[in-house]
Amino acid sequence: MPDSRIVDHPSLPDTIVVLPGTNVENEWARFHPMEALHHLHTICNPLCSSDLDHVIDALEPTDGDRALDVACGHGELLHRMTRRAAVDATGVDLSPWPVLRAAVRAPDVTWWLGNGADPPETRAWDIVSCLGASWIWDGFLGTAEALAARTTPEGRIAVGDLRLRTPRDRAALGDAPEAVSLTEQEQVEALRSLGLRPVNQIIPDEACWRAYEELVVESARSYGDAHPDDPAADHTAIAEAWMRDDFERLTAHLTWTAWVARSWNRVRS
């Protein structure tokens, strides 16, 4: 069950739309530890700044496009996209901490607080993205399917997820949760099975992934220094253990990738 303890937090501005069924106070508490680990991040996944620009290049935003970013984090993707073109952009995340930060940085974007799996509007979007939150739809295939279902007939999607380096790495990972990750070929086949045409794959350098994880440790330490009596500050040791043990093990078998794909003129139900 989510931690329902009351924690100190700022107020949400009226500009943030709270989706129906969202228990705001519960989400402040539930995502409090994640705030301690990610408050210094601009991009909340292993993509470097230039990688994120390449994702936007491949999505080709143009004036009048409607864009939805699911699990938007601090909103950097949409913030940059709206600087490229007059895009009607909406970001949704279940954690109020990054949504608040996103709303301050990009007030011209619409920000929703709530479950990204169930946006309240049925309108189709020209661009739909989800970078680093594939658990919402149980993996790469489910995520790509959910994004594609929300696009216009010739829309574009971007999905970021872990990827096995080779088919042999699945066995090497054994019972680790990451063993369910797909290979590059399996990801391509998953996209094509949905009537999608892969147009670009952006693979961050391992140094980008390491820098992301190191910033998690730095975030935890700085949060602990600023909030010594806050229970969330205890996550420094957890973050350091990840960097020391799990990072080397996982990067030997996995990489991180962001695919951009376009839909063919498929028939929509």
CA distance 214 to 47: 13
Q: What pLDDT sits at residue 225?
A: 87
The answer to whether residue 239 sits within a structural domain is: no
The answer to whether residue 221 sits within a structural domain is: no
pTM for the model stands at 0.93
Q: Is 221 exposed, middle or buried (0-12, 13-18, 19+ CB in 10 A)?
A: middle
The answer to whether residue 193 sits within a structural domain is: yes
89, HSE (Cβ side, Cα atoms, 13 Å): 27
Name the residue range of residue 58's domain.
16-206+249-262
State the total domains in the chain.
1
- Does pLDDT of 170 surpass 80? yes
**Banded pLDDT at 3 (limits 50, 70, 90):** very low
The answer to whether residue 231 sits within a structural domain is: no
CA distance 85 to 235: 39
The answer to whether residue 189 sits within a structural domain is: yes
Beta carbons of 216 and 38 less than 8 angstroms apart:
yes
The answer to whether residue 254 sits within a structural domain is: yes
**Banded pLDDT at 257 (limits 50, 70, 90):** very high
The answer to whether residue 224 sits within a structural domain is: no
Mean pLDDT score, 79-94? 97
Mean pLDDT score, 248-261? 93
Q: What pLDDT sits at residue 122?
A: 67
Q: What pLDDT sits at residue 267?
A: 39
| 178-220 per-position pLDDT tens digit | 999 999 999 999 999 999 999 999 999 999 999 999 999 899 8
The full DSSP string for 30-54 is HTHHHHHHHTT-SSSSS--HHHHHH
The answer to whether residue 212 sits within a structural domain is: no
Residue 45 belongs to domain with CATH number? 3.40.50.150
Determine what percent of the chain falls in helix, strand and coil, rounding each to the nearest 5.
45, 20, 35
